Every structure is written in structure tokens, then in C-alpha cells.
């Protein structure tokens, strides 16, 4: 995906791990802190739960040169094996305790 629109839950962290730009809205009280940390790291755009604001922020993310600059921030993160970790986690969930 070129961009993801997510809440501030676990999928947010998975999108960051696979370097997908994210616009995120907190949908529960515990998500604001997580979103703020991600915003401070420069890897998430936070939006209020307002359709016009969400549309504006998604449009901002997909517009060049903002998009390329935003994606380049992911290269600064230490996520060497993140795709493998996510893939193995999904495989383990699908296989179960066999």
C-alpha cells in the first residue's frame, strides 16, 4: 500500500515495520500516547477522528515531495528484521500449536 489509514493499535506498529506511511487516529484513550511517540519519531501523521482532517492529511502524505521525504524517515529506524518477525508471527498464528 502507498499509505495506510489506521487507528493507534498494533497494526500501526506493523505498518511502520514494513515502512508504509501512516495517517492514524486514536480511537481509544490508550492510543494517544503511542501515536504521539510515533509522530515525534516522524513516522506517523496523526489526525483527529474528523473526515475532512483525515482526507487532508492523507492527501498531504501522498503528494510529492512530502511522500518521498516521509518514506525516507523509515530508513533511519532500526528495523532490520521487522518484516521477518511479522511474517513469522503470522505463520505461527495460522499454524497454531501443531
Instruction: Convert the pLDDT of each residue in 6-35 to its tens digit.
Output: 999 989 988 988 889 999 999 999 899 989
Nearest by Cα to 58 from 47, 68, 49: 47
The whole-angstrom separation of Cα 80 and Cα 19 is: 11
Q: Which three cell numbers stand for residue 59?
A: 492527501
Report pLDDT digits (tens) over 54-80.
999 999 999 999 999 998 888 777 655
As assigned by CATH, the class of the 4-95 domain is: alpha beta
DSSP secondary structure code for residue 97 in this structure: -
- Contact in structure between 44 and 24 (CB atoms under 8 Å): yes
Distance of alpha carbon 95 from alpha carbon 6, whole angstroms: 27
pTM of this prediction? 0.75
60 Rama class: left (phi>0) / alpha (psi -120 to 50) / beta:
alpha
Given a cut of 70, is residue 93 above it in pLDDT?
A: no
Which positions ≥6 away from 39 have C-beta within 8 Å?
45, 46
Amino acid at each position: 500500500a502507498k499509505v495506510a489509514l489506521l487507528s493507534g493499535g498494533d497494526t500501526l506498529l506493523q505498518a511502520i515495520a514494513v515502512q508504509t506511511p501512516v495517517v492514524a487516529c486514536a480511537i481509544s484513550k490508550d492510543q494517544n500516547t503511542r501515536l504521539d511517540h510515533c509522530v515525534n519519531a516522524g513516522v506517523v501523521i496523526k489526525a483527529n477522528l474528523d473526515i475532512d482532517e483525515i482526507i487532508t492529511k492523507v492527501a498531504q502524505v501522498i503528494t510529492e515531495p512530502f511522500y518521498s521525504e516521509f518514506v525516507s524517515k523509515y530508513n533511519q529506524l532500526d528495523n532490520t528484521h521487522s518484516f521477518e518477525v511479522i511474517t513469522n508471527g503470522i505463520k505461527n498464528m495460522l499454524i497454531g500449536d501443531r
